């Protein structure tokens, strides 16, 4: 065999190997893209679930605790006011 034909065969084989590797890389990248898209959909679902939990459970609980704290403060103010009225009435009755 001539050196030129030997080199041509080597170059053709290397080109075929590079072509096969390129195709394999494209397939791997395509599969990675699909996996990332699935992971993104799962994360979107988790995000929507946490948003639902936040809007349905956490925010009302915060609001309820806020309402209870305001009610507690109002009851304290009313108790203090009634105590003051009683003490004022008792002082007026004694005088």
- Dist. CA 25–CA 32, nearest whole Å: 10
Do 76 and 51 fall into the same domain? no
HSE-CB at 2 with a 13 A cutoff on CA atoms is: 3
Do 17 and 53 fall into the same domain? yes
Residue 95 lies in a domain: no
pLDDT, position 57: 60
Q: Provide the domain count of the chain.
A: 2
**Residue 1 domain boundaries:** 1-57
pTM, rounded to two decimals: 0.51
pLDDT, position 69: 73
N-to-C CA span, the chain: 134
pLDDT, position 90: 73
Do 37 and 70 fall into the same domain? no
pLDDT, position 81: 77
pLDDT, position 52: 75
Residues 31/34/39/40 CA torsion (nearest 10 deg): 140
pLDDT, position 24: 98
Spell out the per-residue pLDDT of the chain, length 95, in tens: 799 999 999 999 999 999 999 999 999 999 999 999 999 999 998 888 888 777 766 666 567 776 777 777 778 888 887 887 777 777 776 55
């Amino acid at each position: 065999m001539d050196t030129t034909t030997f080199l041509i065969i080597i170059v053709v084989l290397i080109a075929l190997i590079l072509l096969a590797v390129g195709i394999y890389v494209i397939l791997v990248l395509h599969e990675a893209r699909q996996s990332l898209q699935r992971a993104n959909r799962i994360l979107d679902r988790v995000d929507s679930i946490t948003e639902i939990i936040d809007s349905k459970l956490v925010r009302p609980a915060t609001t309820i605790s806020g309402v209870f704290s305001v009610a507690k403060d109002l009851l304290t103010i009313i108790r203090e006011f009634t105590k003051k009225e009683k003490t004022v009435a008792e002082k007026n009755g004694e005088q």
